[in-house]
């Protein structure tokens, strides 16, 4: 009997060794230094990076693009799939974006990953957007013909992938844009930019499903996470947010035929020193669409201007005529605010400003504890739902 068990165990070890050996043999590292990339922070390595990517992407096993420690410069790059096997973009060094206006103005993105399944971006390194060279030109709040500023990393139609343990610094515009993606996870992402940097949203998501963001920190001049039309089945958990504009659904209703925003969970987050906490914002007037099945829960607020806010009269740009009695046609329903606590910088800690023609329905406030010296208050219009448990400030729905 003992001999039989030993034989089975020996066979198992042999089988495991074969599997490990196969995995290792399927792993091929393409060190960019071996392909002519120069780590001097000045030489434009974009063509060499793309050439290395093509070789790794064409490898039938696990192709690894390795960017070792050092400082590298690259202009705009597009990394296309599909790839034959899994592709890993491993950045250990610092990658710097262009600073000359002619090399970035009008570009949609600095680095794009497109049409890839089973991509991994990791390595602990940094993407430096060098945004301070671009921000002075950003007058988009008042100029309808302003420049287009590039997102640092764009993921388009990237599915079943992992972005883990990377840093983004001083993006010229959005840091990460997620479009048309499925079942992709972000974990241990660190994003930083000055609080005065314009439009530097941390992670912007649209037309995507099954996106997860875990255990990350975002401190920028705009939304930590912004959630656009067509986002479904999103989970954000363990995010440290601030400074910036908080976590925002929207803005929605700016364009015709926007897809609905559904099935979102934002939980176990800490928001500090931001202009908003958890927010839903829609334009007025707007074409019709829907936001439903949203849960904000277990979220701490520290000195936040507007900890809980629904704003269906959002219209920040001086270049667009808003209001004039018209109202948002975005229907908001089944939104839960559970266990939201901490301190408000404004007396009105809960503001639910819903559309008069499409009132908010099925709102739920449970165990709200937001403090302001002298007592916080709530403000509601066209907002319907229930309030249970502790309500500080007293609920107005």
- Radius of gyration over alpha carbons of the chain, in Å? 24
Report CA torsion sign: 375, 295, 360, 354.
positive
Query: What tokens does 172 get?
Result: 């010229």
Token pair 């046609």 is found at 329
Q: What gap in Å lies between CA 350 and CA 330, rounded to an integer?
A: 20
Token pair 């794009």 is found at 112
Query: What tokens does 116 get?
Result: 């890839």
Beta bridge partners, 179, equal 156, 206
Residues serving a catalytic function are 245
CB 330 within 8 A of CB 285: no
Q: What gap in Å lies between CA 256 and CA 138, rounded to an integer?
A: 26
DSSP string covering 363-392: EEEEEEEEE-TT--EEEEESEEEEEEEEEE
Which of 255, 260, 307, 243 minimizes the C-alpha distance to 279?
Answer: 307
Which of 144, 94, 238, 39 minimizes the C-alpha distance to 225?
Answer: 238
CB 169 within 8 A of CB 127: yes
């Amino acid at each position: 009997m003992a001999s039989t068990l030993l034989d089975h165990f020996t066979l198992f070890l042999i089988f495991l060794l074969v599997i490990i050996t196969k995995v290792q043999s399927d792993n091929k590292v393409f060190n960019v230094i071996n392909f002519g990339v120069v780590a001097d922070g000045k030489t434009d390595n974009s063509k060499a990076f793309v050439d290395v990517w093509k070789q790794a992407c064409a490898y039938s096993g696990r192709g690894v693009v390795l960017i070792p420690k050092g400082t590298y410069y690259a202009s705009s790059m597009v990394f296309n799939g599909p790839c034959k096997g899994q592709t890993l973009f491993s950045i250990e060094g610092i990658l710097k974006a262009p600073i000359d206006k002619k090399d970035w103005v009008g570009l949609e993105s600095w680095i794009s990953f497109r049409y890839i399944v089973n991509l991994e971006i990791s390595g602990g390194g940094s993407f430096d957007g060098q945004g301070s060279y671009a921000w002075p030109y950003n007058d988009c709040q008042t100029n309808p013909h302003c420049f287009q500023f590039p997102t640092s990393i764009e993921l388009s139609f990237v599915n079943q992938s992992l972005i883990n343990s990377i840093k983004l610094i001083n993006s010229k515009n959005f840091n990460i844009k997620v479009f048309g993606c499925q079942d992709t996870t972000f974990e241990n992402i660190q994003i930083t930019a000055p609080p005065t940097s314009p439009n530097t949203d941390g992670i912007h998501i649209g037309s995507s499903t099954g996106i997860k963001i875990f255990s990350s920190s975002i401190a920028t001049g705009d939304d930590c996470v912004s959630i656009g039309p067509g986002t479904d089945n999103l989970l954000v958990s363990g995010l440290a947010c601030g400074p910036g504009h908080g976590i925002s659904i929207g803005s929605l209703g700016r364009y015709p035929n926007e897809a609905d925003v559904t099935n979102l969970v934002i939980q176990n987050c800490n928001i500090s020193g931001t202009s908003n906490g958890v927010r839903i914002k829609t334009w007025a007037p707007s074409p019709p669409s829907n936001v439903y099945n949203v849960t904000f829960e277990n979220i701490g607020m520290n000195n936040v201007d507007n900890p809980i806010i629904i704003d269906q009269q959002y219209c920040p740009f001086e270049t667009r005529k808003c209001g004039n009695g018209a109202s948002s046609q975005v229907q908001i329903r089944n939104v839960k605010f559970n266990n939201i606590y901490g301190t408000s910088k404004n007396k009105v800690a809960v503001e639910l400003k819903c559309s008069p023609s499409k009132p908010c329905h099925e709102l739920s406030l449970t165990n709200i504890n937001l403090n302001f010296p002298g007592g916080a208050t709530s403000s509601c219009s066209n907002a319907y739902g229930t309030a249970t448990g502790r309500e500080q400030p007293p609920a107005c729905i």
